[in-house]
Amino acid sequence: MSYIKEYELWLQNVTGTERSELENIRNNDNEIKERFHASLEFGTAGLRGIIGLGINRMNSYVVARATQGLSNQLKKTNTDGKALSVCIAYDSRNKSEEFARTAARVLAANGIKAYIFPELKPVPELSFSVRFKKAAAGIAITASHNPAKYNGYKVYGSDGAQLSPELASIVLEEIEKTPMFGGAKIIDFEEGLTSGMIEFLGEETENAYLDNVLAQSQNPEIVKKAGKNMKFVYTPLHGSGNKLVRAALGKLGFENVLVVKEQEAPDGDFPTVTSPNPENKEAFTLAIDLAKKNDADLIIGTDPDADRVGILVRDKSGEYVALTGNQIGVLLCEYILSSKKEKGTLPKDGFVVKTIVTTNLAKEICDFYGVELKDVLTGFKFIGEKIKEAEESGKGTYLFGFEESYGSLTGTYARDKDAVSASMLIAEMAVYYKEKGLSLYDQLQKIYEKYGFYHEFVESITMEGLDGIAKIKAIMENIRQNPPKTLGGKKVLAVRDYSTSLRTDTESGKTEEIFLPKSNVLYFELEDKNNFIVRPSGTEPKIKLYCLLQGKTPDETSKIAKLLGEDIKTLTK
């Protein structure tokens, strides 16, 4: 169907303010094409898009159709005929509660029990709840750290991890069979509550989740002894982390938690920030002001669905500096492994998991403690897969997993990154090192002194619209067909193309297989243990370029970074 015919179909089927929204774009062909040229892509991360009417937008019709597809998949793969249930959570984004209730109504109409949280909750609690309630799947209504105009629909499997590619493909098939209008079964929300097919999740689930979060503490006695001496600022960035992050910190024993009042209340417009992303220092402007006024040791911030955490620490001059996701990850990795070794609880079969675009400093840390490091593709679902493999095989003890995009998980109670437990561990870690006369900034420098200096950065280039999609595809294809021979002044030693699962030695031409799922990623191994990776974002209209650098001094890596910056401009023209 052409985008114009699709537009006309929607005009025939919506009324009131929704029809007015579509009437207002009647003479705007570009806008009509943007909204109706193709459906939002359903992948292993579910759906994500701009809020509005149209098949390429996030709205209740798209959510209902997706949920019908999920319902069909659950029934199709339910070979033992057991009763099915799905847990549903939502964050502070605009229309999140509406979309969550729409999903519950469709599930209930299909004879699948919907457990829904009565208020906004973090994604990691949703992941936990799926396992806790022994549900067949989970749905989280969120667009993570995207700008305010976005929302999304993430689907989780029965293990609490994001849906596997195999199941996601079945869901997609079922979605495509379902007409947008009249294709999804749906009942009233109140009817679902009355019949028992929709049920609100109670305190039991939340208390169990918090118990599991608190169990990840490595040195609770340190907090009991000195937690009151630690002063830090926390901001939920208008999201879902506020209650649970503060609850975890309070239960562990922290008393001096200063919350940024202007960012405390949930607000899908995120009025105090350009983007509610803890990766961006600009999101912490108000937090820095509060920290300076109160002489705080540390600043912690979580994103809207509370799966990512960013921190700012004081450097030698007393200024608050933002740490990267890689730096936060290696601090936690060193802290967890060293604490377990100190207590004699480090298992011989322990392992850590990271994504291929995450710092290789993790390998040095794991080698030092005699722990295996496993590399996986980008996406926390792949870290979840490694936890599941260890559980099912009985081989290996999961210790920690992290990715450069500010997400980590300690423990196996959930299968997605958890900013609640990460915030708690960061605060605990800060107290632990403070007792040793070190700030987190000092400890990071000690890690570099111990293992070598590492410097990582990511360049993200946004290319929105239909032209943007085409340009990203063209850039990837050009680099694939014409791979650079040098990058950052360093010779390219080998190229890993994850779309073909082959690693090619540039000098000999010899190839070897990569034993990871296929993905549109190009990985360049450079001289002196430097690396450069290119991939399109799976959730945003961006191409992402990762620079993983290593040198003897910061100056050395800065020179490589400068040259790489010039190369990036050439590669992405």
Residue ranges and CATH numbers for the domains of the chain are: 38-201 (3.40.120.10), 210-451 (3.40.120.10), 453-571 (3.30.310.50)
- The set of residues, in sequence order, having a beta carbon less than 8 Å from that of 431 and lying 6+ positions away, is 222, 223, 226, 227, 229, 230
Question: What's the pLDDT tens digit per position in 135-150?
Answer: 999 999 999 988 999 9
Assess whether pLDDT exceeds 90 at residue 44: no
Question: Per-residue pLDDT tens for 517-560?
Answer: 999 999 999 999 999 999 998 777 889 999 999 988 888 889 99
pLDDT at 321: 97
Q: Please, are residues 347 and 362 in contact by the beta-carbon 8 Å criterion?
A: no
> Given phi > 0 = left and psi -120 to 50 = alpha, else beta, which region is 427?
alpha
Report the C-alpha gap between 242 and 261 in whole angstroms. 11
Distance separating alpha carbons of residues 543 and 476, to the nearest angstrom:
9
Average pLDDT score, the chain: 95
Out of 45-59, 192-206, 367-381, 450-464, least confident range: 450-464
b/e map of 136-165 (b: 16 or more CB within 10 Å)? bbbbbbbbbbbebebbbbbbbbbbbbbbbe
Question: For 93-118, what is the mean pLDDT?
Answer: 98
Q: Note the pLDDT tens digit of each residue in 293-330.
A: 999 999 999 999 999 999 999 999 999 999 999 999 99
Which residues are identified as catalytic? Answer: 144
Residue 289 confidence (pLDDT)? 98
Mean pLDDT value of segment 177-182 = 97
Instruction: Inform me whether the pLDDT recorded for 90 exceeds 80.
Output: yes
Give the model's pLDDT for residue 45: 79
Asked if 250 contacts 428 with a C-beta cutoff of 8 angstroms, the reply is no
Reply yes or no on whether the pLDDT at 102 is more than 80: yes
Q: Residues near 401 by Cβ (< 8 Å), separated by ≥ 6?
A: 352, 353, 354, 380, 383, 386, 387, 408, 409
pLDDT number for residue 573: 82
Q: List the strands of the sheet with 231-235, edge to edge.
A: 256-259, 231-235, 298-302, 309-314, 320-322
| Residue 151 parent element (H or E) | strand 150-156
Torsion angle of the four alpha carbons 407, 128, 66, 169, in this order, in degrees rounded to the nearest 10? 70
Q: 351: how many CB neighbours lie within 10 A of its CB?
A: 20
Note the pLDDT of residue 466.
72
In this prediction, residues 206-212 reach a mean pLDDT of 98
Query: How far is residue 152's CA from residue 126's CA, in Å, rounded to a whole number?
Result: 15
**pLDDT reading at 469 higher than 90:** no
**Residue 134: its pLDDT value, please?**
98
What b/e sequence results for 217-238 when a residue is b if at least 16 CB atoms lie within 10 Å of its CB, and e otherwise?
bbbeebbeeebeebbbbbbbbb
- Alpha-carbon distance of 368 to 144, in angstroms, equals 34
Residue given tokens 């063209």 in the structure block: 474
In the predicted model, is pLDDT for residue 433 greater than 80?
Answer: yes
Give the residue with greater pLDDT, 249 vs 81: 249
Beta strands in 274-322 (DSSP E): 298-302, 309-314, 320-322
Dist. CA 504–CA 155, nearest whole Å = 35
Q: What is the pLDDT of residue 43?
A: 77
Contact 380, 388 (CB under 8 A): no
Task: Please choose, from the candidates 219, 256, 216, the residue with its C-alpha nearest in 3D space to the C-alpha of residue 234.
Answer: 256
Examine the pLDDT at 1 and tell me if it is beyond 90: no
- Please check the confidence at residue 332 and state whether its pLDDT lies above 90: yes
Mean pLDDT for the stretch of residues 468-495 = 93
DSSP-derived 3-state class of residue 212: helix
Instruction: State both tokens at 279.
Output: 């990766």
Q: Are 114 and 325 in contact (CB under 8 A)?
A: no
Strands (E), 262-406: 298-302, 309-314, 320-322, 350-355, 372-376, 397-403
Reported as a pLDDT band with limits 50, 70 and 90, residue 229 is confident
Residue 465 has pLDDT above 80, yes or no: no
The mean per-residue pLDDT over the stretch 456-475 comes to: 87
pLDDT of residue 464: 80
Statement: residue 463 has pLDDT above 90: no
pLDDT at 133 (0 to 100) = 98
